[in-house]
């Protein structure tokens, strides 16, 4: 019997976590021919999420729980939890119901047809306003600038074959971005269209600054175009500055008595070129930061406790 691993990262989701468990349990009854496990990884919640997860784990041994020692961030915590799955395929979805668990049977059906990666792709969303606009532009920019194939309106929500996850595990990447790396690996992706509903309960821990950080990291890890742009800007402005200097020199020679250079061009030029330099240094800093992260060799997370994983050891014995 094939085994499906289901995975949900959570942080302060006391209003969603038990309902998510019940919903997934009902959905899996539609797939009686499969064995399954359901893994939660809690990123050091400060509400009652941990208490609810303990209750679920006591009631259902198929539910496995990892408690992190501290909040390691959604990327590191999510990746680590995903790597603890043991099924023939693994399906990741958020705890806020914006990734509809009702699509699980369709994901599995596409997987059985031979697709090793099946993603949900948003054809619409309840999200409105400035953040929604920025998110749409982010997808387009990464897709246009990336050196490998990228997909618009996907969050990484979907199914991954065990072969794909084993490849991720072998990389020892300190912060693997599944959504970006699939295109780098070259795996074809089968897309399932869905409408993204609003968050069911609670408030997202993400804010605009965190979204910007994720966008910059995605761009840095998928493309060298920002570095090339910085180089081109430096070359262009160096030539432009030299041309302006020559023009000013000739004007001063020709109109020696009437042409007054003044300090304004110098001040404007100084601040403009300083701004370009700071932008370039910032771009270099992002790439150097990624190199440093990979060289430090830190673990993705440090566990405080795990529940119901002992059952796997007993079965292996």
- Count of C-beta atoms within a 10 Å radius of residue 284: 13
The verdict on 162 and 30 lying in the same domain is yes
Average pLDDT over residues 209-231: 70
Distance CA 174, CA 172 (A): 6
Q: What is the pLDDT of residue 263?
A: 59
The closest of 113, 93, 141, 103 to 27, measured between CA atoms, is 103
Span of 54-58, 165-169, 226-230 with lowest mean pLDDT: 226-230
For residue 177, tell me if it sits in a domain. yes
The verdict on 15 and 141 lying in the same domain is yes
For residue 122, tell me if it sits in a domain. yes
- Count of C-beta atoms within a 10 Å radius of residue 245: 11
Distance CA 62, CA 34 (A): 13
The verdict on 60 and 136 lying in the same domain is yes
Give the three-state DSSP class for 68: strand
For residues 90 and 7, the answer to whether their CB atoms sit within 8 Å is yes
CATH assignment of the domain containing 109 = 3.90.550.10
Average pLDDT over residues 203-221: 67
For residue 215, tell me if it sits in a domain. no
The verdict on 45 and 194 lying in the same domain is yes
Domain extent, residue 43, equals 3-207+301-316
What six digits make up the tokens of 198? 């609003």
Give the three-state DSSP class for 153: coil
The verdict on 169 and 28 lying in the same domain is yes
- Residue 2 binned pLDDT confidence (cut-offs 50, 70, 90): very high
Distance CA 284, CA 267 (A): 26
DSSP state of 200: S
For residue 65, tell me if it sits in a domain. yes
Distance CA 139, CA 137 (A): 5
Q: What is the pLDDT of residue 313?
A: 46
Distance CA 249, CA 117 (A): 63
Beta-strand runs (E) in the chain: 3-10, 35-42, 63-68, 89-92, 117-125, 158-161, 190-196, 303-307
What are the phi and psi torsion angles at 273 (to 5°)?
-65, -30
CA distances from 140 to 137, 161, 205, 268 (A): 5, 27, 24, 34
What six digits make up the tokens of 314? 């007993």
Total domains in the chain come to: 2
What average pLDDT is seen over the chain? 83
Distance CA 24, CA 86 (A): 18
- Count of C-beta atoms within a 10 Å radius of residue 267: 10
Distance CA 43, CA 310 (A): 21
What six digits make up the tokens of 14? 């006391």
The verdict on 125 and 248 lying in the same domain is no
Could you read off the pLDDT of 71-110 as tens digits, one per residue?
Answer: 988 888 888 988 999 999 999 999 989 999 999 999 999 9
What are the phi and psi torsion angles at 118 (to 5°)?
-125, 120
Q: How far is CA 56 from the centre of its chain?
A: 28
Between strands 158-161 and 117-125, the pairing is: antiparallel
The verdict on 96 and 242 lying in the same domain is no
Q: What is the pLDDT of residue 198?
A: 81
Could you read off the pLDDT of 264-303 as tens digits, one per residue?
Answer: 666 667 777 777 777 778 777 777 777 776 777 778 889 9
């Amino acid at each position: 019997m094939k085994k499906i691993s289901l995975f949900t990262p959570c942080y302060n989701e006391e209003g969603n976590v038990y309902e998510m468990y019940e919903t997934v349990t009902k959905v899996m009854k539609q797939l009686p021919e499969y064995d399954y496990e359901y893994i939660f990884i809690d990123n050091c919640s400060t509400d009652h999420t941990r208490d609810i997860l303990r209750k679920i784990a006591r009631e259902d041994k198929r539910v496995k729980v990892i408690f992190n020692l501290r909040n390691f961030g959604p990327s590191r915590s999510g990746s680590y939890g995903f790597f603890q799955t043991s099924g023939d395929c693994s399906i990741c979805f958020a705890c806020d119901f914006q990734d509809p668990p009702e699509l699980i049977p369709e994901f599995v059906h596409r997987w059985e047809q031979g697709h090793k990666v099946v993603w949900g792709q948003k054809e619409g969303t309840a999200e409105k306003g400035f953040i929604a606009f920025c998110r749409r532009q982010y997808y387009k920019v990464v897709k246009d600038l990336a050196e490998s194939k990228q997909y618009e309106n996907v969050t990484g929500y979907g199914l991954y074959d065990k072969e794909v996850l084993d490849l991720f595990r072998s990389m020892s990447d300190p912060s693997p971005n599944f959504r970006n790396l699939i295109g780098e690996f070259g795996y074809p992706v089968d897309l399932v269209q869905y409408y993204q509903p609003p968050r069911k309960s609670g408030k997202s821990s993400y804010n605009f600054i965190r979204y910007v950080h994720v966008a910059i990291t995605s761009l840095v890890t998928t493309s060298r175009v920002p570095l090339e742009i910085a180089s081109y800007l430096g070359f262009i402005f160096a030539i432009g500055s030299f041309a302006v200097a020559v023009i000013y020199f000739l004007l001063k020679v020709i109109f020696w008595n009437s042409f007054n250079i003044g300090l304004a061009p110098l001040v404007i030029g100084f601040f403009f070129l300083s701004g370009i330099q700071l932008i370039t240094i910032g771009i270099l800093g992002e790439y150097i930061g990624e190199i440093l992260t990979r060289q430090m060799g830190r673990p993705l997370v440090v566990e405080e406790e795990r529940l119901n994983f002992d059952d796997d050891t007993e079965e292996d014995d």
